[in-house]
Chains A and B, each alone.
Chain A
Amino acid sequence: MKRTLLVVIALGLLLVPLLHLAFPPGHVLHLSEFYVGLLGKFLCFAICALALDLIWGFGGILSLGHGLFFALGGYGMGMYLMRQIGRDGQYQADLPDFMVFLNWKTLPWHWAASDSLVAQLFLALAVPGLIAAVFGWFAFRSRIQGVYFSIITQALTVAAMLLFFRNETGFGGNNGFTDFKRIAGLSITSPGMKVALCMASAAALIACYLIARWLTQSRWGRILQAIRDAEGRVRFLGYDPVAFKLSAYVISALMCALAGILYVPQVGIINPGEMSPAASIEMAIWAAVGGRGTLLGPVLGAFFVNGTKSVFTAWWPEGWLYVLGALFIAVTLFLPAGLMGLAKRFKR
């Protein structure tokens, strides 16, 4: 049942480029550029939900700061995209527009690798990974658990957001990065590029899913789940929970950063708003709605919540926060196992 569902989803994704590129606009089967972009966005969100589920659903660690890793990946990619604008910006200068506006003459040191796609991609993954490793090591070593961990991860992302809002940190301040033109010399707005990015997101999601499935079914995954259920007992059995929690946290941060990398070129903007506590908590609700502790659930949850959001923001914008708030309450009260739990109950 599950396998057939996966195959159907994978085949459906393969149809996207065909429907967008092969049929002309106006044809019944044509998939418009808007929907390709939306799908790409949702796929990135699904990666985030999966990443969060890996540590929350399987490790019992609720991070409310995953927006930080997502945004750091996005900023890493954004730096490269800003350099790719070249002299096509408003000021026709070598430096990105916001630096010209701030009257800077040279690139700041942390932009050193921004001309190379490979180096910048490496940084966009390595920096969030490293931050997660250092922060997680300190946190888990001091046995910070449960709500306390949630609160300090939230404090971390708020601190980073305040830092990125500043102009002098060199990340474009309030406005962040936008007005991207091309990737590796190719136009970022061409239909081919849109489809390619969407497919890359799909491939990344499938890869993350497979990695997560392999991890959770391994010995490592079983111990992680044991830690979730009774950390003290696992420690008394001779395991070191820090290593397991830390590795899960870093892998999860890397997945989120990957999602950010793919998200930014498709959406065309990255700003410090992605690091707001609200953005990170929303990720948690994607996982919770889909069903924690399952791997398919968070993916479905991300699609379901964001799909509803798209419908509401178009149809009744004021109503969306009511719906989101009600989702938070209803899922925690009535659907602790999320949509997947509902499906299971329904089947039985």
Chain B
Amino acid sequence: MLRLLLISLALLWGPAWALSPETAARIAAGEGDDRVAALQQAVAAGDASLAPFLRALQDGRVRLKGGQAIVVAEGQAVPADTEEPMLNNRMRREIEAALAGLDLLSPDRATRAKALATLRDDADASKLPLFERALASEPDAQLRSQLSALVAGAKLSSTDPGQRRAAATELAASADPATRALLLERMVGETDPGAKAAMQLAIDAIGSRLAWGERAQLLFSGLSLGSVLLLVALGLAITYGLMGVINMAHGELLMVGAYATYCVQQAFRAWAPGAFDYYLWLALPASFIAAALVGAAMERTVIRWLYGRPLETLLATWGISLVLMQAVRSLFGAQNVAVENPGWLSGGWALLPNLTLPYNRLAILAFAALVLVGMALLLGKTRLGLMVRGVTQNRRMAACVGVNTARVDTMAFALGSGIAGLAGCALSQIGNVGPDLGQSYIVDAFMVVVLGGVGQLAGTVYAGLGLGVLSKLLEGWQGAVLAKIALLMLLVLVIQKKPQGLFALKGRVLD
């Protein structure tokens, strides 16, 4: 009561200096505990003139003269006959927390949200009155729910066990991982059995709510990885699955696509910085064409002579991959290059407190689906697709009815390579772009195609998405390296049992 009186007095006392001089002096100088207590009292009172004073204190513009605190206006010289107040680390921390607390009352929503985030880690009972006042005046529903969690958190550190128990029960309604962490932390030091039980109940309740978010997150990252694998493997499904060419340079075609994206990005940066957000629309065709050209050149010069000799093809394409990698090193340097997401791909869609779906991953999921549909239409509905299928099913018969098989081979290989280029463009949006880009995907890509079975797209889709989800599940359970090893062993086992793939077409072949 006395405090309120003092403050109302102070308000009357001067417009530029609304804080009472005694409180100001008590905050600025004296014993540490007294200063903190005075600061906390002032914060609880929630005086609007406290914030400028505290900022001045932080900036070293508060001076002491004969037990009185004087604020020096910004830019003015410091009076000579004054002392500087002591500010130790504890005091600095308290001042920061106090300022954040005061920001809770700010009219600007962004400032309040930022203050809330700052205060989450040290919500103690001393700020409770302030929080409650902010809660009463908070117009935004989202911030209000965060604030009430903060109030409950502050109550958790109350000295009254009954209030702690009530706070724990209140927090059970939250779905925020941070609240659960707070409860877990507080439970360790809890002495009252009733409050402890309430906290345990609250933790379990939040945990079960969070579990759904975590499961959804796992599923999403699995699908995301699966869509990446699918994109990488779709090109291979043509060159290997349909044409039977073991292309060890497939990974390097991804790399070509990614570097084409990089080049387009650099061109936009240099000549059309205003249109930077749209560079991907040009990068997609550019990466397709670049990789398709490299693929066509490979087919015309090397692979053409090796049809029917898969082991030789493997070695020759490995050689091509070495040359391509070294060429990129010579042209762009051995370091990774930076490919930036355009504005509309950065950020994410926050579904739950612990579930955010990044836009670039969502875009790749959609893109993989688009490429898949496009490829299915191209192979199933166009003349080129008809000829490719004809040549792969019976080369001599196709030649007899007038199909230029050599040309179709080149076109099909260029198509598969171009799709690899598109995959490379997509990969550049989620990972590093460097000369080794392709190496890290090639084993996975072969795994998808081999698991999916040769000669059809549906198997590739099942295998790609299935492998993605499975590897994320295993990763969550046993860590990334063991998950990878388990998947490689799975590949070995599958080839043992079904050398033609899990979803292979039935047939009888013997040499």
Q: Inside 8 A of A331's CB, which chain B residues have their CB? A: 315
Surface stretch bound by A, among B13-21, B85-93, B319-327, B408-416: B319-327
Surface stretch bound by B, among A125-133, A156-164, A214-222: A156-164
B329 touches A318 (CB 8 A): yes
Known: A155-B491, A162-B484, A328-B318. A144 touches B496 (CB 8 A): yes
B:477-511 near A, CB below 8 Å: 481, 484-485, 488-489, 491-492, 495-497, 499, 510-511
Give the shortest distance, in Å, between A170 (CB) and chain B (any CB): 15
A325 touches B306 (CB 8 A): no
B:320-356 near A, CB below 8 Å: 320-323, 325-327, 329-330
B484 touches A159 (CB 8 A): yes
B192 within 8 Å of A (CB atoms):
no
- Interface 1/0 per residue, A131-172 and B, CB below 8 Å: 000000011001111111011101110110011011000000
A:223-252 near B, CB below 8 Å: 230-232
B319 touches A159 (CB 8 A): no
Question: What number of residue pairs across chains A and B have CB atoms under 8 A from each other?
Answer: 106
Give the shortest distance, in Å, between A283 (CB) and chain B (any CB): 11
B322 touches A324 (CB 8 A): yes
A102 within 8 Å of B (CB atoms):
no
Known: A159-B484, A231-B511. A151 touches B319 (CB 8 A): no
B319 touches A325 (CB 8 A): yes
**CA distance in complex: A154, B117 (Å):** 50
A321 touches B326 (CB 8 A): yes
**CA distance in complex: A165, B482 (Å):** 11
**CA distance in complex: A163, B485 (Å):** 8
Q: Inside 8 A of A62's CB, which chain B residues have their CB? A: 311, 314
**CA distance in complex: A322, B331 (Å):** 13
B302 touches A158 (CB 8 A): no
A308 within 8 Å of B (CB atoms):
no
Give the shortest distance, in Å, between B236 (CB) and chain A (any CB): 12
B481 touches A148 (CB 8 A): no
Give the shortest distance, in Å, between B58 (CB) and chain A (any CB): 44
B488 touches A332 (CB 8 A): no
B499 touches A328 (CB 8 A): no
B326 touches A318 (CB 8 A): yes
**CA distance in complex: A204, B484 (Å):** 37
B311 touches A150 (CB 8 A): yes
A340 within 8 Å of B (CB atoms):
no
A322 touches B326 (CB 8 A): yes
B273 within 8 Å of A (CB atoms):
no
A281 within 8 Å of B (CB atoms):
yes
Q: Inside 8 A of B499's CB, which chain A residues have their CB? A: 142-145, 148
Choose among B318, B446, B447, B481 the residue with the greatest number of A CB atoms under 10 Å from its CB. Answer: B318
Chain A count of residues within 8 A CB distance of the other chain: 43
Q: Inside 8 A of B305's CB, which chain A residues have their CB? A: 333
B450 touches A288 (CB 8 A): no
B322 touches A165 (CB 8 A): no
Q: Which residue of chain A is the closest to B493 with respect to CB atoms?
A: A138
Q: Inside 8 A of B318's CB, which chain A residues have their CB? A: 281, 328
Q: Which residue of chain A is the closest to B324 with respect to CB atoms?
A: A325
Known: A150-B311, A318-B329, A325-B326. A333 touches B488 (CB 8 A): no
Q: Inside 8 A of A210's CB, which chain B residues have their CB? A: none
Q: Inside 8 A of A324's CB, which chain B residues have their CB? A: 319, 322
- Interface 1/0 per residue, B464-487 and A, CB below 8 Å: 000000000000000001001100
B485 touches A162 (CB 8 A): yes
Known: A159-B489, A322-B326, A326-B323. A232 touches B510 (CB 8 A): yes
B contact face: mostly helix, strand, loop, or mixed: helix
Give the shortest distance, in Å, between A276 (CB) and chain B (any CB): 9
Q: Inside 8 A of A143's CB, which chain B residues have their CB? A: 499
Q: Inside 8 A of A147's CB, which chain B residues have their CB? A: 246, 310-311, 314
- Cβ contact of B497, chosen from A142, A148, A232, A328, cutoff 8 A: A142
B492 touches A156 (CB 8 A): yes
B485 touches A327 (CB 8 A): no
Q: Inside 8 A of A144's CB, which chain B residues have their CB? A: 495-496, 499
A44 within 8 Å of B (CB atoms):
no
B450 touches A151 (CB 8 A): yes
**CA distance in complex: A27, B419 (Å):** 62
B495 touches A151 (CB 8 A): yes
Q: Inside 8 A of A270's CB, which chain B residues have their CB? A: none
A284 within 8 Å of B (CB atoms):
yes
B458 within 8 Å of A (CB atoms):
no
Interface size class of B (residues with CB under 8 A): 35 or more
Give the shortest distance, in Å, between A280 (CB) and chain B (any CB): 11
Q: Which residue of chain A is the closest to B312 with respect to CB atoms?
A: A332
Q: Which residue of chain A is the closest to B321 with respect to CB atoms?
A: A325
- Cβ contact of A165, chosen from B325, B443, B481, B496, cutoff 8 A: B481
- Cβ contact of B319, chosen from A139, A146, A326, A336, cutoff 8 A: A326
Q: Inside 8 A of B315's CB, which chain A residues have their CB? A: 281, 284-285, 288, 328, 331-332
B316 touches A138 (CB 8 A): no
A148 touches B495 (CB 8 A): yes
A158 touches B329 (CB 8 A): no
B492 touches A321 (CB 8 A): no
- Cβ contact of A333, chosen from B246, B310, B316, cutoff 8 A: B316
**CA distance in complex: A232, B311 (Å):** 19
**CA distance in complex: A339, B496 (Å):** 36
B495 touches A152 (CB 8 A): yes
**CA distance in complex: A158, B497 (Å):** 21
Choose among B302, B315, B510 the residue with the greatest number of A CB atoms under 10 Å from its CB. Answer: B315
Known: A142-B499, A158-B443, A159-B484. A329 touches B316 (CB 8 A): yes
Known: A328-B316, A332-B315, A333-B302. A155 touches B496 (CB 8 A): no
**CA distance in complex: A327, B323 (Å):** 10
Known: A152-B495, A155-B488, A333-B305. A321 touches B311 (CB 8 A): no
A155 touches B310 (CB 8 A): no
**CA distance in complex: A163, B492 (Å):** 16
**CA distance in complex: A214, B313 (Å):** 31
Q: Inside 8 A of A151's CB, which chain B residues have their CB? A: 446, 450, 495
A:181-226 near B, CB below 8 Å: none
Give the shortest distance, in Å, between B106 (CB) and chain A (any CB): 50
**CA distance in complex: A145, B495 (Å):** 10
Q: Which residue of chain B is the closest to A145 with respect to CB atoms?
A: B499
**CA distance in complex: A62, B315 (Å):** 10
**CA distance in complex: A232, B481 (Å):** 39
- Interface 1/0 per residue, B167-182 and A, CB below 8 Å: 0000000000000000
- Interface 1/0 per residue, B230-260 and A, CB below 8 Å: 0000000000000000100000000000000
- Interface 1/0 per residue, A261-281 and B, CB below 8 Å: 000000000000000010001
Give the shortest distance, in Å, between A260 (CB) and chain B (any CB): 21
- Interface 1/0 per residue, A298-328 and B, CB below 8 Å: 0000000000000000000010011011111
B302 touches A329 (CB 8 A): yes
Q: Inside 8 A of B323's CB, which chain A residues have their CB? A: 321-322, 325-326, 329
Give the 6 A-B residue pairs with the shortest CB-CB distance, closest first: A328-B319, A325-B322, A325-B323, A321-B326, A159-B488, A325-B319
Besides the known contacts A329-B319, A333-B302, 5 further A-B residue pairs in the complex with CB atoms under 8 A apart: A144-B499, A162-B484, A232-B511, A321-B326, A329-B302
**Cross-chain pairs A/B with CB under 8 angstroms, 27 sampled:** A142-B499, A146-B311, A147-B246, A147-B314, A148-B450, A148-B495, A148-B499, A151-B446, A154-B443, A155-B488, A159-B489, A231-B511, A232-B510, A284-B315, A325-B319, A325-B320, A325-B322, A326-B319, A327-B319, A328-B315, A328-B316, A329-B302, A329-B319, A329-B323, A332-B312, A332-B313, A333-B302
